Every structure is written in C-alpha cells, then in structure tokens.
Amino acid sequence: MVKVGIVGGTGYTGVELLRLLAQHPQAEVVVITSRSEAGLAVADMYPNLRGHYNGLAFSVPDIKTLGACDVVFFATPHGVAHALAGELLAAGTKVIDLSADFRLQDAEEWAKWYGQPHGAPELLDEAVYGLPEVNREQIKKARLIAVPGCYPTATQLGFLPLLEAGLADASRLIADCKSGVSGAGRGAAVGSLYSETSESMKAYAVKGHRHLPEIRQGLRRAAGGKDVGLTFVPHLTPMIRGIHSTLYATVVDRSVDLQALFEKRYANEPFVDVMPAGSHPETRSVRGANVCRIAVHRPQDGDLVVVLSVIDNLVKGASGQAVQNMNILFGLDERLGLSHAGMLP
C-alpha cells in the first residue's frame, strides 16, 4: 500500500486527488494539509467524500509527518513546492507536483512567466516532466515529477504524432483552446463568477499565457530540438470542466495516412483514444475521466491538418495524470483508480 500525503487539499485539484484516490486499491491518503482549514474533517468540507475518509482531517504542513509518506502530491499555488520539495526528497519521499514549479527546465524563463525568482533551481535537472505518453521510462525512475498543465496536455498530445514524424511545419502551429472555469481555481475572483461567465465566451492572455513556454518546450522536444513557432490562444467558456483544443498544422506530405499515423502512435496508450475518422470529440465525453480523445481531420484534402483534442482539465489535465504518474512510479498497473468512464449527461 502506497502511503500518500497531499499538500494543499482544499482546492479543486486537491479534492479531485481525494476523489480518485478514494477508489484506488493500492493507495492510502494518510495526511492532507491546509493551513487555513487545519483541524477540519475532510468530509465536513467535501460531503461527497463522506464514508471514504473517516477520521482524516486537514493539518498544518509538517516535514516530519509528510516525510513519512511514500509520495507527496503538491496541489498548491506556484512557488509553494519550491520551499518543501528538497526537504522531502532528502527524507526519501517521492514528490509529484501539480503546480508549474518544476515544469520549465530554465529557471530564468520560469521567473519571467511567473513573476518571482525560482525557489529551487538546483532541482530542475532531475525533475521529470510527467507526460506518460512521452516520458514513461523516466517517470519509473524519478524522485521528482512535474505534472503537465491542462492546456499543455491537450495540445501536446494532439500535435505529437505530426511533429515526431516530421510531417508538420513546426514554424507555423496554432492552438485555439477553450477551458472551463474550474481551470481558474477555487479562489474567489470576479472573472469566475457565474454572472460573469455564463452565456458568454472570451479569449484571454492572447499576448502570452503562462502555459505557452511549457507547450513550446514539449513540442520542441517532439520536433527533435527544432525551434517551434506556436500561436496559442486560450478562451474561457461557460462550463465547469473541460479543455477543447483545436490545433492547426501544415503538413509537408499529403500522401501520409494521418488516421493510421495517430492510431499507431497511441495504440498502446491506455488514456488516449483516437476516434474514428470524421469524429468530433466532445468535452462531456471525458468529464471525470482520465482520457484524452483525439480526432484528426484534413479539410478538403489540403495541406492544413486540424486536430481536435479534448480532456477534463481536472483529471487528465491535473489530478488524474498525477495519479497515473504515481502508478507508473511505484510499478503499479497504470490504470488503477483511473479506469472509470466519463460522466454523461
């Protein structure tokens, strides 16, 4: 049984971790922290978890207690894991970070996009980017895993087959992405109010979103180190969960069977579903599930390829992918605790 600690358990990714781990046969959450809610029973804050975590209450973070765990998840704002990860690693505890603290390999670039100095640059070299479809072997041997962001997960999985095969013009990629409001987190903000988001949709951060350097870093790796020209435009949509990425790339060889290419690339990936030719995946089909559904199109049989990629931003885009990483890290069946279907309607 894997003993699990969670730092920052009151936000959306924290409670999603609790929901998924409640049905995991080989994991037990033994400590969950929150400075603001210390002493409060988990089931009192989240009644959907009643009967699953009897006796478990939020506590103030303590290195000794957390260091007794096999693995600690950080479901915290950016910068928090910087302060604690090193001490936990020194205690022999594995760290899986859901924030962006260790996703970027360049500390200066991280500081530029996140507006503060990187607090643990000495750990960047060993941090493994936790996209299983790319780094499964490295994840198996990791001590510190950086769970990819939601937009980066949907976007990279959609572009990877084209870039790895050298088919896409890497200098002209476009990612037109839509997200549900839960992607903004649980904190109160005017922009996330129901009356502000309902019956409306808007683009934001067109000049530059924090996920842009993370996406470019992954796509550059897929393209064999070539520079990548990416235009990334995120949108906020009036739904709670979901990411829909519409991806555009120009192909250099029209003769390639793109459907076969995508099916072959993801044939052995348990959480990527390449849909039949002509499909249009819906975000509701992955709601609550750790699945990325992909469809590939070539309108009018031209050289422009359109890839549709959908995920649940809180599951495959965050907590589910974190649990998937934990399973790989501890040599468990990758699907444990994650094999449930999406929720319809």
State pLDDT tens for residues 157-174.
999 999 999 999 999 999
- 25-36: burial string, b at 16+ Cβ within 10 Å, e else: eebebbbbbbee
What is the rounded distance in angstroms from the CA atom of residue 340 to the CA atom of residue 290?
Answer: 8
| pLDDT score at 141 | 97
Question: For residues 53 and 18, is the Cβ–Cβ distance under 8 A?
Answer: yes
> CA of 183: how far to CAs of 223, 241, 312, in Å?
28, 8, 10
150 is catalytic: yes
| pLDDT score at 188 | 65
> Domains of the chain, with CATH numbers?
2-126 (3.40.50.720), 151-313 (3.30.360.10)
What is the rounded distance in angstroms from the CA atom of residue 170 to the CA atom of residue 220?
Answer: 8
Question: Token digits for 100?
Answer: 């962006």
> CA of 335: how far to CAs of 59, 110, 136, in Å?
30, 32, 14
Q: Which residues are registered as beta bridge partners of 57?
A: 41
* Secondary structure class of 5 (helix, strand, coil): strand
Question: Token digits for 271?
Answer: 């959480």
State pLDDT tens for residues 264-322.
999 999 999 999 999 999 999 999 999 999 999 999 999 999 999 999 999 999 999 99
Q: pTM for the whole thing?
A: 0.96
State pLDDT tens for residues 115-149.
999 999 999 999 999 999 999 999 999 999 999 99
Instruction: Tell me the average pLDDT of the chain.
Output: 95
What is the rounded distance in angstroms from the CA atom of residue 165 to the CA atom of residue 158?
Answer: 13
State pLDDT tens for residues 211-244.
999 999 999 999 999 999 999 999 999 999 999 9
